[in-house]
Amino acid sequence: MSWNGKKVAFLGLGVDAGDVEAWLRTQGAEITILDEKKDPDAFADLTKYDALVRSPGVYRYREEILAAEKAGVVVTSKMKIFFDVCPTKNIIGVTGTKGKGTTSTLIYEMLKAAEKDVFIGGNIGKGMFEHLERITPETWVVLELSSFQLIDLHASPHIAVTLMVTSDHLDWHKNLKEYIDAKSAITRFQKASDASIFNDQYLLSVRIGLLGEGEKIPVRRSDWSAHVRLRGEHNKENFAAAAAVARITGVSEETILAVAKEFKGLEHRLEEVATVEGVTYYDDSISTTPDTAIAAMNAFTEPLVLFLGGSDKGADFTEIGQAIANVTHVKGIVLIGATSEKIKASLNQAGANIPVQEGAQTMQEAVAQARAMSTSGSVVVLSPACASFGMFKNYKDRGDQFKEAVLRIQHKL
């Protein structure tokens, strides 16, 4: 559609929406920002606009939005607009409950290593509209896509990647069916010339992957059993999907293997920080649930010292206590934050006879405790199973402070 002279309302202005707002202004649109945090009645009358640009956090099927749509108002989003105006059809979309960011970045790194013109966006990378002018018909665009972005897409990417899909975001979606329907847009509109890559170890992923008319390419972690520097079985699944995409685009096996051997992972996601005094430190600060901490723990066989704890949001730590009691490679626990006593109780209840250090008031003190419990050949993993508030601003701040403390040891500061 032509945006010139159109009255366009942004329903919430997310942190990543500034680039599309600026682009729409260059197209002659008259922009209004509606922010419910500042005005609870901001969405009261949406029928006076020509178009609504929904931010990912705003529920697509709100009554006010549906009423405006029924009155003839166009309802769109940053991602819908991008699919409309993107100069290339070479769009690679990646979705899944977990692993989207890592897989998208792997694909980007593989294509970049093969000297292809490639751009990464969506929930990761830079603003898509800031670089719209440099995208040509030959450019490859890798997009990390959440259900919030997929829910109203009217087109599917040329190459669709569906990773592990399990029930999630049911606080936003009405039910599991709506969540899966939203994810399904990644393949639903594919044509015979497109391709659908999906993890066939998960029923919901298979259901999504088989939609549309694109070529069906199932993958699983066993397709990528070696050469992966990243820890964790889930990362073998991510590599298998990324490698399948790379092959379709013409990347050589040699280049795929080279990236696999060098890729250290995304920041704060089982990120390898440094090896100091024979001990390798990993930052998995994004771990805010017991499940993710258990996955991090199981990614290693070496003697392991594990950081656990943070702010208390009512999580049940029974399972992680049992998981630690059932393995032999966890040699020590460093407890931080308000949940320390709850986690210690779960360890005692499970009979986990493991040394525990607690009481650190700073990350530097906590890392010193971990260092004292470590021996050459072991690993130290920050995978707290809790939110970070209290001692830290957020999980990024927690991870950054962990890395800074490790590097201070490395450089003898």
Give the pLDDT score at 236.
87
Parallel/antiparallel/unpaired status of strands 140-144 and 91-95: parallel
Give the angle 337-342-348 at the CA atoms, nearest 5°.
125
pLDDT tens-digit readout, 9-34? 999 876 677 889 999 999 999 999 99
Alpha carbon distance 297, 320 (integer Å): 10
Contact by Cβ (8 Å): 67, 25? no
Identify the CATH number of the domain defined by range 7-80. 3.40.50.720
Of 240, 252, 244, 227, nearest in space to 116 by CA: 252
Strand partners, 330: 304
Contact by Cβ (8 Å): 91, 137? no
Give the pLDDT score at 169.
45
Helices (H) and strands (E) in the chain, counts: 15, 16
Q: Which residues of the chain have pLDDT under 50?
A: 168-170, 172
Residue 188 DSSP SS3: helix
Element (H, E) at 147: helix 147-150
Backbone angles phi, psi at 62, to 5 degrees: -60, 150
Same fold, 7-80 and 271-410: no
Contact by Cβ (8 Å): 331, 304? yes
Per CATH, domain 271-410 is 3.90.190.20: yes
Residue 351 DSSP SS3: coil
Of 274, 263, 329, 318, nearest in space to 296 by CA: 329
Alpha carbon distance 120, 142 (integer Å): 5
Give the pLDDT score at 384.
94
Of 195, 233, 203, 178, nearest in space to 94 by CA: 195
Element (H, E) at 198: strand 195-199
What top-level class would CATH report for the domain 86-262? Answer: alpha beta
Give the pLDDT score at 173.
54
Residues in Cβ contact with 367 at an 8 Å cutoff, skipping those fewer than 6 apart: 380, 402, 405, 406, 409
How is the chain split into domains, by residue range? 7-80, 86-262, 271-410
Global confidence as pTM: 0.81
Element (H, E) at 271: strand 271-276
Sheet containing 30-34: give its strands across: 30-34, 7-11, 51-54, 74-77
Contact by Cβ (8 Å): 43, 18? no
Residues in Cβ contact with 400 at an 8 Å cutoff, skipping those fewer than 6 apart: none
Contact by Cβ (8 Å): 350, 317? no
Of 162, 218, 166, 208, nearest in space to 188 by CA: 208
Contact by Cβ (8 Å): 45, 66? no
